[in-house]
Structure 1
Amino acid sequence: MTRRPTILDVAREAGVSKSTVSLVVQGSAAPRAETRARVEDAMARLGYVRNRAAAQLRGADTGLIGLVINDLRNPFFTEFAASLQGALSGAGYAAVIANTDEDPDEQDRVTAAMLEHGVAGLVMCPTHDTRAETAMRLERAGIPAMQVLRRMDAGGAALPFASFDYRTGGGDATRHLIGTGARRIVFAGGLDGRQITRERMEGYDAAMQAHGLETRCLPGRPSRTLGREIALRLAAETPRVDAALCFSDLVGLGMLSGFAEAGVAVGRDIRVVGFDDIEEASLCHPALSSVRCDIGGFGRDVAATLLRWLGDGVRPPDETRAPVTLVPRASSAG
C-alpha cells in the first residue's frame, strides 16, 4: 500500500466496521478482547498510525449515535426514542435525536448533518417516500446504520431492518373480534399502499377470508381526527358495522370519541381494537383493546444490537421481527 493506510483499510483488513476500529483506537472498553486483538493485528500489518488532528475535526471521539424519527408527536415513536436513548446512555453514548415530521427533505438534511458531525452509528425510522439516495449515503458513510419499524420504500435493502410481527398481530386481533360474534369488521386507518399498512392488514385479510367474511378498508393518515371521522360515518350507516380493527391506537382513541358523540356504546354496540398499546389505551374509557408492541423493550434491543455492531463488528440480520401480543379490554371484550 503506497498511500497512508486509513481507518477504513484497517476495518476491511480486520473484517469489522469502521466504528469498531475507531473504538479500539480510542481505547474504549466496548469491543471484546478477541475483536480488539484482531483490529490491533490489522493495524500492525498495515502500519496504521492514528491521525489525532483529523479525528478531532470529524468528531470521532464524541461517542454520538444519530436517531432519526419520522414523527415524535406520536407517543409510540416517542417511547421508542426514549428507551433507545436510555440504553445508549447507559453504555456511554449520547443520542442525537431529530424529528423529520414525515418530510423526506428534512430527513436528508438531518441525516447529512449527523454524518458530518461524526456520529458513530445511526438508527432511522424512515419517512414515507424516502429516497434511494438516503440509503446510499448511509452505506457510503461506513458506519453501523439500521432502519426500524418501517422499511425504506426505495434503496434500503442493504440496511438491516428491525420491526414487529404486524401480520400476526392483525390476524390475532381479527380472530378475537370474530370470536366475540362480530361479522362486519372494518380495518380503519393507514395510508393506502404503504408497506406498514399492508403488513397490519395482511393478518386481517387472511382471518376474514378464512371465515368467509367480506373485508373493508377505510384508509387515511392515522390520527385521532381520522378515527373520530370514521366513527361518525360508521354510526350513521345501516346496517351498522359491528367491529373495527384500527391501524393504530390513535385511530382507536379517535373512534371511541366519535362513537361516544354519536351515542354508540363501544364494547356493546360495536367493538374496537387498536394497534401498538400505548399507555393511553389502558387509561381511557372504555379501555381500548390493542395489539401490544413492547416498544420499550424493542428500543433497548435495538440499542443492544447497535452496540454489538459497534463494539464487536457483529452485523445484525437483514430482517428481525419482534413478537406482539393481543391485550383484550372493555372496548372489544364488553
Structure 2
Amino acid sequence: MPSEDRKKNRVTLLDVARHAGVSRATASLVIRKSPLVGAETRMRVEEAMRELGYVYNMGAARLRAERSHTVGVIVPNLTNPFFAELLSGIEAVVDSAGMVVIVANSGDSVERQDRLMRRMREHGVDGVILCAAAGTGPGFLHQLTEHSLPLVQVLRHISDDIDYAGVDYAGGMRQAVDHLASLGHRAIAFAVHGPVHSAYRERVEGFRDAMRSCGLNPDMIVRLPNQIREIAAAAHLLFDGAKQPTAVVCFNDVIALGLAAGLYDRGLRVGENFSLVGFDDVTDAEAMRPRLTSVFTAPVAIGENAARLLLDRLADPSCQPRRVVKEPQLHIRQSCGPVAAPVS
C-alpha cells in the first residue's frame, strides 16, 4: 500500500476519542495511564482502541514527554473581572491535565504582546491561548504556527486557520435589543469603549442589525472612557445628541456599572425611568442595585473550551482547526422597565 494511503487509513487518537465519545485530551490521558480518568471512561476508551485497532506511537510519545507541561495565556486586561473568570475556566481544565498556566497581560499592546510571546517560547511553553491585542494581524499568528507553537484564539477572532473559542456576540446583542423593544423602548443607545477588535466589531454590528430588525435607528452609538469613575462622570454623553435615549445597551458590565453611578448622579432611577443592560454578566455585576439585566457570555465555559481545544491540539497537532462558539443568554433582572416619559 502506498505510504499516502497508509497515512489516510491510519487510526488516530481523534478516531478513538470520537468512537468512545470523549475528547482527544481524555483519550490521551487514558493512554498515559493518568489517574484523573474515571474507571468507566477508561474502559470505554480502551475498548474503542481495541475495536479500531489503534496503535500507540511510542516514538511520538517520547517527543511529547519532553514537553514543559506549561500553557501560556495572554490576555489584554487583567483588571477586567471578565478575564479573571475566563482564566479560572482555562486553569481548571489545564490543571486537570497535569499542567500549569503562565498568565501575562498584553495591555492591548501589539508590541508588548510580541515580547510576551517571545518570552513564552523562550520558556518552552507547550502551547498558548491568546486573546489577541487590538491590531494583531493574521501574519503574527501564522508565524507562531510555523514555529510549531500550538495556539488557540479566544474571544477575539483573527484567522480561520487557527482554533478559536468564543461567544456569539451578535446573538447576545439581539437578545438585549429585543428585550428593550418589547418593553416599548424606541430610542436605545449603545455605550462602547476600548480599542477596536473583532469582538468590538461583532458587538457593534450585532447591535445595529438588531435595531434595524426592530425598525429602530441603529446609529445612537456613544463612546465612553475606559475606567468606571470616568464613565460615571461621562454619563451626560448619552444625552448630548438630538435624540434622547430611554435605554442603553452597554458594551460590557464595566460600562454598565459606571453608567449606573452616573445615571444616579443625574437623578435618574435605573429600572424605573431609564433602562440599562450590561454584557458579560460577570460575578461583580451582582453588587449593583437594582440588579443588572445582562447578557451572560459564560466566560468560565469559554475558558474551558479554549483549554480543551489546546489540549486536543497538543494530542493531535495535525487535526483540522476548530471553532467553538458559545451561545449567550440574556439574564433579566431589575435594571430594565417599561419605557417612561422621554428624558429631558
Tell me, which stretches of 5 or more residues in structure 1 are unaligned? 1-12
Tell me, which stretches of 5 or more residues in structure 2 are unaligned? 1-9, 15-23, 35-41, 339-344
CA contact (8 A) 2:187 2:243 kept: no
Counterpart of 2:55 in structure 1 is 37
* CA shift for structure 1 position 121: 1.4
**2:314 counterpart of 1:310:** yes
1:203-218 to structure 2, matched below 5 A, reads: 203-215=206-218, 216-218=220-222
Deviation per CA, 1:49-94, whole angstroms, max 9, x where unpaired?
Answer: 969xxx9xxx934211111111111110111112211221121001
Which residue, out of 146, 152, 163, partners 1:146? 152
Alpha-carbon distance between aligned partners in 2 of 1:200 and 1:237, rounded to the nearest angstrom: 22
CA contact (8 A) 1:189 1:226 kept: no
Alpha-carbon distance between aligned partners in 2 of 1:329 and 1:85, rounded to the nearest angstrom: 30
**2:304 counterpart of 1:286:** no
- Secondary structure in 1 aligned to 2:71? strand
Counterpart of 1:240 in structure 2 is 244
Counterpart of 1:161 in structure 2 is 164
**2:274 counterpart of 1:270:** yes
* CA shift for structure 1 position 302: 2.1
Which residue, out of 186, 189, 195, partners 1:186? 189
From the superposition, tell whether residues 96 and 36 of structure 1 become closer, same or farther in structure 2 (CA, over 3 Å): farther
From the superposition, tell whether residues 92 and 99 of structure 1 become closer, same or farther in structure 2 (CA, over 3 Å): same
Counterpart of 1:4 in structure 2 is none
Alpha-carbon distance between aligned partners in 2 of 1:319 and 1:304, rounded to the nearest angstrom: 12
Deviation per CA, 1:205-249, whole angstroms, max 9, x where unpaired?
Answer: 122212321121113464424532442233566763100000000
Counterpart of 2:119 in structure 1 is 113
| AA of the residue aligned to 1:265 | R
Alpha-carbon distance between aligned partners in 2 of 1:226 and 1:138, rounded to the nearest angstrom: 38
CA contact (8 A) 1:192 1:219 kept: no
Percent of residue pairs bearing the same amino acid type: 27
Counterpart of 2:231 in structure 1 is 227
Counterpart of 1:332 in structure 2 is 336
From the superposition, tell whether residues 193 and 121 of structure 1 become closer, same or farther in structure 2 (CA, over 3 Å): closer
Counterpart of 2:73 in structure 1 is 67
CA contact (8 A) 2:224 2:231 kept: no
* CA shift for structure 1 position 159: 1.6
**2:90 counterpart of 1:84:** yes
The TM-score normalised by the length of structure 2 is 0.77
1:11-50 to structure 2, matched below 5 A, reads: 28-29=32-33, 37-40=55-58, 43=59
Alpha-carbon distance between aligned partners in 2 of 1:288 and 1:120, rounded to the nearest angstrom: 40
From the superposition, tell whether residues 221 and 135 of structure 1 become closer, same or farther in structure 2 (CA, over 3 Å): farther
Counterpart of 1:6 in structure 2 is none
From the superposition, tell whether residues 238 and 61 of structure 1 become closer, same or farther in structure 2 (CA, over 3 Å): closer
Aligned residue pairs, count: 302
Deviation per CA, 1:11-66, whole angstroms, max 9, x where unpaired?
Answer: xx99889xx9xxx9xx94479775983533xx4xxxx9969xxx9xxx93421111
Alpha-carbon distance between aligned partners in 2 of 1:113 and 1:39, rounded to the nearest angstrom: 31
Deviation per CA, 1:118-171, whole angstroms, max 9, x where unpaired?
Answer: 11111101110124443133112213210100123xxx4422122101101001
* CA shift for structure 1 position 309: 2.4
| AA of the residue aligned to 1:140 | E
The TM-score normalised by the length of structure 1 is 0.79
RMSD of equivalent CA atoms: 3.2
Alpha-carbon distance between aligned partners in 1 of 2:97 and 2:199, rounded to the nearest angstrom: 31
Alpha-carbon distance between aligned partners in 1 of 2:239 and 2:191, rounded to the nearest angstrom: 14
**2:182 counterpart of 1:176:** no
| AA of the residue aligned to 2:334 | A
Moved more, 234-243 or 31-40: 31-40
CA contact (8 A) 1:292 1:324 kept: yes
From the superposition, tell whether residues 28 and 118 of structure 1 become closer, same or farther in structure 2 (CA, over 3 Å): farther
| AA of the residue aligned to 1:175 | D
Alpha-carbon distance between aligned partners in 2 of 1:36 and 1:101, rounded to the nearest angstrom: 45
CA contact (8 A) 1:70 1:99 kept: yes
From the superposition, tell whether residues 259 and 222 of structure 1 become closer, same or farther in structure 2 (CA, over 3 Å): same
